[in-house]
Homo-oligomer: A and B are copies of this chain.
């Protein structure tokens, strides 16, 4: 999606440790009208799939998930990283390995909100090594629900996550797919 690629080139900063800083519009400050345009594009790609629920993971996935779900007119369910007082009753859990923090953590969703008749669209801001996405897939599978695919804002296509989940049969639509990035510039894969 040209619009997102241009925004990444304009406002993204490539930092040490292969980090792409997009905190000015995507995952700290969120440019809501812009994210809504991304949400509309994700909607266009999945609108005929009978989506009943959008699933994401806190915290930076929640904004784009809500702005996508608006087009579908369906609820968002966000997996939590701590067993908080906002979740009650039985939960589905899955393990996520964080490469950033070098530790494994558990994510939770209430069993009440994922059902076998749900057709789930997973939405997240980033796809890199795929650990969070695989965990979200496990939550959907645990509930016996079906998954229509994943709508991702930015995929680091030079990392293994995209290939991993596509090889599992998941349809992944990433709005910008980064082929390589250095401090000199960012190169994208064609759609």
The residues of A with any CB-CB pair to B shorter than 8 Å are 13, 15, 19, 21, 23-25, 27-33, 35-36, 54, 58-60, 62-63, 66-67, 69-70, 73-78, 80, 84-88, 100, 109-110, 112-113
Contacts and interface: CB of A to CB of B under 8 A. Distances in A.
Nearest to A36: B70
A80 B81 CA distance: 14
With most chain B CB atoms within 10 A of its CB, the pick from A31, A62, A100 is A62
Taking the full assembly, how many copies of this chain does it contain? 2
Nearest to A35: B66
A32 B75 contact: yes
23 contacts: A13-B88, A19-B85, A21-B88, A28-B77, A28-B113, A29-B75, A29-B76, A30-B66, A30-B75, A32-B69, A32-B74, A33-B70, A33-B73, A36-B70, A58-B58, A58-B59, A59-B80, A62-B63, A63-B63, A63-B78, A66-B66, A67-B67, A85-B100
A63 B58 CA distance: 10
A14 to B, nearest CB: 12
A54 to B, nearest CB: 8
B75 A15 contact: no
Contact of A59 (B54, B78, B88): B78
